[in-house]
Amino acid sequence: MRSFPSYDGTVLSYSVVGAGPPLVCLPGGPGRAVAYLEDLAGLSELRSLVLLDPRATGHSEVPADPATLRFDRQARDLEALREHLALAALDLLAHSAGTLVVQAWASQCPDRVGRLVLVTPSGRLQGSEREDVPMIRELFSDQPWYAEALEAAQALPDAPPSQRSGLERATRPFMYGQWDDRTQAHAATADSQSSKRALLGFGQGLEDLDVDALVEGLREVTAPVLVVGGERDALTGLESVLAVAGAFPTAQHVVVPGAGHFPWVDEPAAFRAAVDPFLAQA
């Protein structure tokens, strides 16, 4: 592991895997360590993957000020990493909730964006209501786990904290294109890789955040952007993919057939076929 002090002195850890131009990789969760990204289906063959543990996750330190865990404030960690790596611009790949951090950073620093790959993003900033998610869930209605997972998903919004962990585990099959040995093993890693502190801090205190200004700032990002969705992503859906892509002036979007919320796990070859040509242009 390598490390660097961020803007406030919090020491953040990262690892580097592969060869080629650096690609900073940011996990989602929120509050999950970066290990679940693995090597992104062998993307390390094309790029040096700089795999960052966000503050309070994995090997990175817990900050002295919990308010710095809020997603838009974590954008300053990306800028500190860029300076640490001595790069004029950053190429970034972010997954799920991590795309919120990257969008905040890109809005604040549009001239320092190299290339962005946003994988199964959250469209929360753009007002996405994920209205297509129930329809995508129905694609799994013939599966033996479907009834239990659907009941858990419907109970989650109003569940007390003591029940949330169990319900979340029951909904995990909805996050993958298929529920087999490989995806079950990948899903099981969430229990040891997740930080409750980071999760709770990620969205705290948003009443003073000007979301409209943040989204408007994305119109200044002229660098290439690729938004990747999973055809069977029953967590964030495809509506979010279109909403996020539409926030940038020149973004492309692609949907990986058969994939869920983790397309490099479900459909590694198709994921690489979607991402490689975009990154190879850098």
Summary mean pLDDT of the chain: 96
Query: Which residue in 143, 10, 144 sits closest to 73, CA to CA?
Result: 10
- 225 Ramachandran zone, left/alpha/beta (phi>0; psi -120 to 50): beta
pLDDT at 103: 98
pLDDT at 245: 98
* pLDDT range class, residue 282, cuts 50, 70, 90: low
pTM score: 0.96
Query: Which residue in 94, 102, 54 sits closest to 75, CA to CA?
Result: 102
**Using one digit for the tens of pLDDT, what is the confidence trace for 64-116?**
999 999 999 999 999 999 999 999 999 999 999 999 999 999 999 999 999 99
Q: Structure tokens of 186?
A: 């990948």
Distance between CA atoms of 93 and 22, rounded to whole angstroms?
11
Distance between CA atoms of 114 and 87, rounded to whole angstroms?
10
Q: Which residues contact 42 (CB under 8 A, 6 or more apart)?
A: 268, 272
**Using one digit for the tens of pLDDT, what is the confidence trace for 121-170?**
999 999 998 999 999 999 999 999 999 999 999 999 888 888 888 999 99
Domain 2-132+193-280 falls in which CATH fold? Rossmann fold (3.40.50)
The pair phi, psi for residue 171, each rounded to 5°, is -90, -5
**Using one digit for the tens of pLDDT, what is the confidence trace for 185-202?**
999 999 899 999 999 999
pLDDT at 164: 86
**Using one digit for the tens of pLDDT, what is the confidence trace for 213-259?**
999 999 999 999 999 999 999 999 999 999 999 999 999 999 999 99
Q: Structure tokens of 124?
A: 């929360």
